[in-house]
Amino acid sequence: MSLRLAAISLYLRLAQKPQLARARNPKRVRDGFERVAARWFRPPTDTNVIADRLYGPAGPIPIDWISYKRPDRRSVIIYFHGGAYIMGSRTTHRHIGARLSEKSGARVVMPEYRLAPEDPFPAAIDDAFSIYKTLLDTGYDASRIALAGDSAGGGLAFATFLKARAEGLPDPGCIVGLSPWLDLTMTQQSITRNARRDPLLPANRFRDVTEFYLNGGDPSLPYASPLLGEISNPPPALIQSSRIELLADEAEAMAEKWREAGGDVRLEWWRSAPHAWHIFAGIAPEADDAIARAARFIREKLKLEEEDPEDPLL
* Catalytic residue ranges: 151, 245, 275
Say how far apart CA 153 and CA 115 lie, in whole Å.
12
What's the DSSP call for residue 59?
Answer: B
The tally of CA atoms less than 13 A away on the side-chain side of residue 20 is: 24
Q: Compute CA 169 distance to the chain's CA centroid, rounded to the nearest angstrom.
A: 21
Q: How crowded is residue 38: how many other Cβ atoms within 10 Å of its Cβ?
A: 11
Single out the residue of 284, 293, 281 nearest to residue 93, CA to CA.
281
Say how far apart CA 100 and CA 293 lie, in whole Å.
9
Please classify residue 209 by burial: count the beta carbons closer than 10 Å to its beta carbon, then call 0-12 exposed, 13-18 middle and 19+ buried: buried
